[in-house]
Amino acid sequence: MSTKYIQLSHGGGGLEMNKLIRGLFFEAFDNAILRSEEDAALLNLTGQTAFTTDSFTVSPLFFAGGDIGKLAIAGTVNDLAMVGAEPQYLSLGVIIEEGFPFDSLKTIVQSMATELKKSGAKIVCGDTKVVPKGCADGLFLNTTGVGRVIRPGISAKALQPGDAILVSRDIGRHGAAILMAREGLELESGLQSDCATLWGTVEQLLIHPFEIRAMRDATRGGLSAVLNEWAVASNVNIQVNEGDVPVADEVRGLCELYGFEPMDLANEGTFVVALPKSQADGALEVLKRFGHCEHAAIIGEVCEAPQGKVILNTPWGSRRYLDLPAGELLPRIC
Amino acid sequence: MSTKYIQLSHGGGGLEMNKLIRGLFFEAFDNAILRSEEDAALLNLTGQTAFTTDSFTVSPLFFAGGDIGKLAIAGTVNDLAMVGAEPQYLSLGVIIEEGFPFDSLKTIVQSMATELKKSGAKIVCGDTKVVPKGCADGLFLNTTGVGRVIRPGISAKALQPGDAILVSRDIGRHGAAILMAREGLELESGLQSDCATLWGTVEQLLIHPFEIRAMRDATRGGLSAVLNEWAVASNVNIQVNEGDVPVADEVRGLCELYGFEPMDLANEGTFVVALPKSQADGALEVLKRFGHCEHAAIIGEVCEAPQGKVILNTPWGSRRYLDLPAGELLPRIC
């Protein structure tokens, strides 16, 4: 590929597009289905199939702990993992702004290829569009995935009073990392996004006979959004002990500085699990075997009433509703 | 929905996004799987599954004969149909520019809902992102689809010498319609895009015992791109009789005016079929039962050599190679 910048012709459906697809995407994501070059990939799926989609418009494209490519693979793979499905096949839709540096595209594509190895999922079909300068902000990605459901019945509607709520690690890192990148901040601690593929960890949880009711990665809207959606979907009350929710000091500090709530900040490799209280310690033990989950914690429990509400018990003994976040949260975090 | 324009908060993962998703998308695409609200839709697929993705960045969003919504449904449904698969489930990824008129979004969503009825495919999962003003050009869509393969073996690699090449209607209408919309032209004839869901037509072809080798909708890169890809993939020569390729007078006129080749212009509801010559008349008869295929024609045949090349026989008795289009074709036609 001799060109340094993406041109409109790279999306035109002709010679240049063919070269870009073969020279870059086919090389990085190499597999027989992708190379079959039909209008659609042909898959042999068995059992129940999970199907999910995500578009990625994160700004900036590169941030501490990841980039839009890593995010696009981890994000869709994680959505499959959260319903107990083994990630199998992904599609990739790419919208590139004319003039985008070819080297940056290459770095992002390599980052995708690296992240795919963590779950074994394969990109089997794709689409490339180029829009004129000024019509997009660098690069947008869409990944859509299918996977085989290993454990049926995991559902936002399945929570029951008496369940414990676990979080897999300290919260808010992704939102904080994006905020830092956008504000040009550098912390001595080297705070990074939690962006990660969760399938390996989830697979280990599923090997054990835990009766997992629900799992959800706490992306946009953070922990607050997940818990509120669960409380409504299952018609239960969720009680959270604020003091038990792990938050890194740097994340807490950034939140105080910029007026954000750690509970509302996005995560990209942090998930919440609900399962019977009696199994909570066992699940915690499994989670803690994974480096990224060393701060996993039991943060609350599922109660009867008031239905559809999340209550936060503060360390000072007061109680308040934890609401679904509203208004302009940190935009374009994924 | 009281707001007239899309705001950043509609993509934030909080209250406003929830309202947009429930108030607009769930209402328009109503089905039980979509409303299940898990991180992934759960599907029961049987047999071989076709899987395909397309992003849509067409400009302008509305054009004679369609809009980006109709295009996004027809485009992905057609990619499934072209490998002999019945379109079943779609995902929808939406990237909206802040300030986009809510009414336009509603019109586009309605247009998608209408087009879905033509194949029976359902949107079962989705994702909504909003980017700040100036970071996208109004609206981009991604649709990714899965479908059950009804007729296995249809492939760009399956062409054989002795096959006939058919085109389902006159070519170039979509590219011409976009060009007109962009240049502010109005023709008396009311030239419209060919944008259409092809599943109904393809389903009828598949009911008959035609040995269909390959099918392809001639989108970006037009008829030239399809024929060149087939010639290379199947290692054959394709001979096309230029005089037999149906082109509407208005399309030909616009091409002459703007320096385009009808063969390179995009179509969004026109497909090419290869099948044994002895079955060509029968297939043509089936095609012509459909209003949009009344100009269907046998346009050429598959020969041995020179392999990988497409040869155009002109009405004046001369012959030339028909190459894969190159350079800046009409951009953002889909």
Q: Evaluate if residue A199 carries a pLDDT over 90.
A: yes
Residue tagged 């992306």 (tokens): A219
The proportion of chain A whose per-residue pLDDT surpasses 70, expressed as a percent, equals 99
Cα–Cα nearest to A115, from A24, A195, A215: A195
* A64, A19: one domain: yes
Average of per-residue pLDDT values in chain B: 95
Using DSSP's 3-state secondary structure scheme, residue B272 falls into strand
On whether residue B192 sits in a domain, the answer given is yes
Closest to A129 in 3D by CA, of B231, B251, B249, B137: B137
Are both A202 and A295 inside the same structural domain? Answer: yes
CATH at residue B136:
3.30.1330.10
pLDDT, average across residues B96-112: 97
| pTM: predicted TM-score of the whole model, two decimal places | 0.96
For an interface test with A, the pick among B38, B56, B96, B219 (most A C-beta atoms closer than 10 Å) comes out as B38
Q: In this complex, do A126 and B15 lie within 8 Å of one another by their Cβ atoms?
A: no
Residues A129 and A29 in one domain: yes
Residue B204: which region, alpha, beta or left (left: phi > 0; alpha: psi -120 to 50)?
Answer: alpha
B173 plus B117 within the same structural domain: no
Task: Give the C-alpha separation, A280 to A303, whole Å.
Answer: 16
B183 and B207 together in one domain: yes
**A228 and A257 share a domain?**
yes
CATH number of the domain within which A254 lies: 3.90.650.10
Spatial contact of A234 and A113, defined as CB atoms under 8 Å apart: no
Is the CB of A146 less than 8 angstroms away from the CB of B146?
yes
Percent of chain A with pLDDT over 90: 89
Give the confidence band of B13 by pLDDT, cuts at 50, 70, 90: confident
- Indicate the pLDDT class of residue A116, thresholds 50, 70 and 90: very high
Question: Are residues A120 and A267 located together in one domain of the fold?
Answer: no
One domain for residues B168 and B301 = yes
Are B192 and B240 within one domain?
A: yes
Pairwise CB contact (< 8 Å): B14 & A327: yes
Domain final residue, candidates B109, B126, B149: B149
Q: Do the domain assignments include residue A201?
A: yes
d(CA B53, CA A39): 9
Residue type, A130: V
Six-digit token string for A314: 């503060």
Best of A9, A33, A38 to mutate (most B CBs within 10 Å, chain B): A38
**Considering the domain boundaries, does residue B333 fall inside one?**
no
Last residue of a domain, one of B149, B179, B198: B149
- Which chain A residues touch B266 with a CB distance below 8 Å? 13
The beta-carbon contacts of B101-104 under 8 Å, at least 24 apart in sequence, are B101/B4, B101/B5, B101/B6, B102/B1, B102/B3, B102/B4, B102/B5, B102/B6, B103/B4, B104/B61, B104/B138, B104/B139
Rounded CA-CA distance A124/A147 in Å is 13
Is B11 close to A331, i.e. CB distance below 8 A? yes
**Count of helices and strands (H, E) across chain B:** 10, 14
CB distance A53–B15 less than 8 Å?
A: no
Looking at residue A1, its pLDDT comes to 45
CA-CA-CA-CA dihedral for B142, A115, A117, A125, to nearest 10: 20
CB distance B50–A59 less than 8 Å? no
| A66 token code pair | 């990841």
- pLDDT tens-digit readout, A59-68: 999 999 999 9
Q: Which two tokens stand for residue B7?
A: 């705001």
Look at residue A222 and tell me if it is in a domain. Answer: yes
Local confidence band at B119 (pLDDT 50, 70, 90 cut-offs) = very high
**Chain A residue with minimal CA distance to B233?**
A37
- Which region holds residue B47: left if phi is over 0, alpha if psi is between -120 and 50, else beta? left
Instruction: Tell me B101's DSSP state.
Output: B
**Domain presence at residue A155:** no
Same domain, A123 and A84: yes
Domain-located, residue B184: yes
Is residue B6 predicted with pLDDT exceeding 70?
Answer: yes
Residue in B17, B144, B222 nearest the CB of A91: B144
**Residue B319: partners with Cβ closer than 8 Å, 6 or more residues away:** B311, B312, B313
State the ipTM, two decimals. Answer: 0.95
> How many domains are there within chain B?
2
Chain A partners within 8 Å of B8 (Cβ): 328, 331
Within B184-248, where are the H helices? Answer: 199-207, 222-233
Is-contact A268 A71, C-beta < 8 A? Answer: yes
Q: Is residue B99 part of a domain?
A: yes
Instruction: Return all residues near B271 (Cβ < 8 A) that are at least 6 apart.
Output: B78, B82, B167, B168, B198, B202, B215, B216, B217, B218
Regarding whether B17 and B136 lie in a shared domain, the answer is: yes
- Per residue, the 3-state secondary structure of A159-184, as one string, reads CCCCEEEEECCCCCHHHHHHHHHHHC
Full residue range of the structural domain in which residue A313 is found: 163-321
CA distance A136 to chain B (A): 4
Does residue A108 sit in the same domain as residue A196?
Answer: no
Percent of chain B clearing pLDDT 70 (strictly above) = 99
Last residue of a domain, one of A121, A149, A177: A149
